[in-house]
Structure 1
Amino acid sequence: MIPAHTTGEGGTTVVYGESAGPVLHVYADPRCPYCKRMENGLGETFRRLADEGTFRLHYHFATFLDEALGGKGSHQALNALGAAANTGQAEFLEYLRALYANQPHEDHDTFAEPRALLGLANDVEGLRSPEFENAVLEYAFGAWVEDVSRAFGESGVEGTPTVFFGERPVAVLDRTGHAVTPEMFTAQLQEG
């Protein structure tokens, strides 16, 4: 199964926004603590600019932290994100926010537990449904998760978070590893 609201070969990229304009490509791993910092600091800005039509969001997900740290939390979380995308764009983005807001320490594989992922879905209006729950519990998007992981591996991107505005890299973290301010982020969109 391939979730709705995806694009690319095999639907390996999750899309948010209706704009026909530029694309903001966001590469992230659900277990990545630096991705959490990016989302917590800039997620609302990403959404607002997408809603205003400045760009469409294209999310490219990785699962390499499962291999690096052991476990399957990135895979299970990505499956749940696929189920959320299948429900709707707004539900996907709100669920992504809920996952990062409640992300366990990267050494703890809490996201490997489907019940934990379902519990976080309670924070997202309109997400909990029998279809969503079955997809999470049964790992229904498992083949898609593998395709998404493979696409990330073939992308040439070496770490997360990595963000491109079109083809141009955009800094989302400062030298200390914390999210840049929304003003610093938006200023970069005006460059070049």
Structure 2
Amino acid sequence: MIPANTTGEGGTTVVYGADPEGPSPGAPVLDVYADLRCPYCKRMENALGATMRQLADDGDVVLHYHFATFLDETLGGHGSHRALNALGAAANRGQRHFMAYLRTLYLNQPHEHNDAFAEERMLLGLANDVEGLRDATFETQVLESAFHEWVERVGRAYDESGVAATPTVIFRDRPVAVLDRKGQAVRPEEFTAQIHATT
């Protein structure tokens, strides 16, 4: 199964905004590379996620999310894979559901050495925070890992992308700084200034 609201070969990229590969090309793509267990990705999302979404809602960019799962191998466990399966189920429901669940996952991200995202009951519990997401279909897709093969393809696509670390954000073939030298998120105005400088 491939979730709705995805693009690329095998649907390995999750889209938020008007898909430029669709019948009506839209805004330029902002590529976001992240791992759901990555604490630095959490800092990026918590500080800049709303700004990215607003840029997409305003039609300035289309967000393309590329998810890594390498932290499962690095740290042990299955949290990145199972959280991404649940996120795929949210994307299958709709772009707004995907984005709200993504934010919820990062807000409640366990310590990277704690594999709590591997527990379906946690993933289902967090889905209660997203209006209209949790129903019998979503629960089945989470409990049965309905998007397991898709998750594997997504992880391989990241591994083959040439991107060295998460988080990485790219706009018009140029890296966009989302963290400073101390590993803290840049301010939203600094982030948007980089986007507008390349438009």
Shared fold per TM-score greater than 0.5: yes
Q: Provide the alpha-carbon RMSD of the alignment.
A: 0.8
Among 119, 129, 140, the residue aligned to 2:146 = 140
Among 35, 46, 62, the residue aligned to 1:40 = 46
Among 62, 69, 82, the residue aligned to 1:76 = 82
2:22 corresponding residue in structure 1: none
Question: Quick check: 1:17 aligned with 2:17?
Answer: yes
Among 133, 144, 163, the residue aligned to 1:127 = 133
Mapping for residues 147-158 of structure 1, pairs under 5 Å: 147-158=153-164
Question: Quick check: 1:115 aligned with 2:121?
Answer: yes
Partners of 2:172 and 2:80 in 1: CA distance: 26
Task: Tell me the amino acid that sits aligned with residue 60 of structure 2.
Answer: T
1:90 Cα deviation from its structure 2 partner:
0.3
1:104 corresponding residue in structure 2: 110
Among 162, 166, 169, the residue aligned to 2:172 = 166
TM-score by length of 2: 0.95
Please list the CA deviations of residues 53-100 of structure 1 after superposition, one character each: whole Å capped at 9, or x if unmatched. 000000000000000000000000000010000000000000000000
1:7 corresponding residue in structure 2: 7
2:113 partner SS: coil
TM-score by length of 1: 0.99
Question: Quick check: 1:89 aligned with 2:95?
Answer: yes
Task: Tell me the amino acid that sits aligned with residue 138 of structure 2.
Answer: F
Partners of 2:169 and 2:196 in 1: CA distance: 15
Among 65, 68, 79, the residue aligned to 1:62 = 68
Task: Tell me the amino acid that sits aligned with residue 103 of structure 1.
Answer: Q
Instruction: Give the fraction of aligned pairs with identical amino acids, expressed as a percent.
Output: 71
**Structure 2: stretches of 5+ with no match in the other structure:** 20-25
**Structure 1: stretches of 5+ with no match in the other structure:** none
1:190 Cα deviation from its structure 2 partner:
2.2
Partners of 2:49 and 2:139 in 1: CA distance: 25
1:182 corresponding residue in structure 2: 188
2:44 partner SS: helix
1:166 Cα deviation from its structure 2 partner:
2.4
Aligned residues: 192
Partners of 1:14 and 1:55 in 2: CA distance: 14
Partners of 1:90 and 1:190 in 2: CA distance: 25
Partners of 1:118 and 1:10 in 2: CA distance: 26
